[in-house]
Amino acid sequence: MSKYNLFKIKKYKKFVVISFSENNIKADDIYYDLNLLVDDINFDDSIWAVAFDFSNGLNIQNASDNKFILSLTELVMNIKKPTFCAINGQIINRAFEFILPMDYRICSRTSTFVMNQILDPNIQFDGATQLLPRIIGLNKAKEMIMLGVDMNSEDAFNFGLVNLVTSEDKLMNIIVEKLLKIVSFSPLAMQYTKEAINFGNETPTVEGMKMENDLSSILLSSKDRIQAINSFKNKKSKKDFKGK
């Protein structure tokens, strides 16, 4: 995956860590490379999870002409595998929207989150009005979006925007630690779990339960399940999941 000019990609066993080649970048410049990257991640069986490294900060600028809007958030939502991100500094507007679909977010103690496009005046157009209320609650999301109120790292943790707050120097070590844990599980089970949770969050409970049952039924015939059963029966046997 060295064909990307805008991304720096560090490959580990079973997961990748992605950072942007610069911290201040235009949304349109990201879109086409990100589109290719998402496809590569989804179709590469050797990648079980992905992390985005924003430990040096991130600013995504809107295009000067917003008549044709390219959604970065939708591309991130299309990643089938678990997504993590490490956040540092001020995350504002498009960069804020970019991190919302990710599955696990940690930030530094000095991080702040800002959604103030309404002051321009613009409406948020890449998912904030839909995703943020589901994460931090309706009232707090309205306060941030409609009044442009900032959120510090402590409040981000208390309202569920981030999973963990730590010091800047520990961000990536913790992310790698979490990734090593998640790739020790069956990648197929993890992808289906993510799919079931996301589907259920957007549909009535009964429909979500049907999806959960269907995906569980598929897993019953997977080689990974057989591997897990054999490992359980023979406690000395090491799990060696293949994602099949």
Q: What angle do CA 102, 89, 119 make, to 5 degrees?
A: 85
- Residue 230, classed as helix, strand or coil, is helix
d(CA 158, CA 155): 5
| pLDDT value, residue 241 | 58
Reported as a pLDDT band with limits 50, 70 and 90, residue 214 is confident
Residue 151 has pLDDT above 90, yes or no: yes
- pTM of the full structure: 0.86
What was the pLDDT predicted at 37? Answer: 94
> d(Cα 152, Cα 2) in Å, to the nearest integer?
36
Residue at 116: amino acid letter: N
Tell me the pLDDT tens digit for each residue of 17-26: 999 988 788 8
Asked if residues 114 and 124 have their Cβ atoms less than 8 Å apart, the reply is no
Locate 12 and state its tokens.
Answer: 């580990």
Is pLDDT larger for residue 40 or for residue 199?
40
> Average pLDDT, whole number, for the chain?
86
For the stretch 98-146, pLDDT in tens is 999 999 999 999 999 999 887 776 666 788 999 999 999 999 999 999 9
Long-range contact pairs involving 55-58 (C-beta distance under 8 Å, separation at least 24): 55/86, 55/87, 55/88, 55/108, 55/168, 55/171, 55/172, 56/19, 56/23, 56/88, 56/89, 57/23, 57/88, 57/89, 57/90, 58/20, 58/23, 58/87, 58/89, 58/91, 58/95, 58/98
β-pairing, 59-61 vs 104-108, is unpaired
Alpha helix ranges (H) inside the chain = 27-43, 72-77, 94-99, 128-136, 138-147, 153-158, 171-182, 187-202, 205-220, 223-233
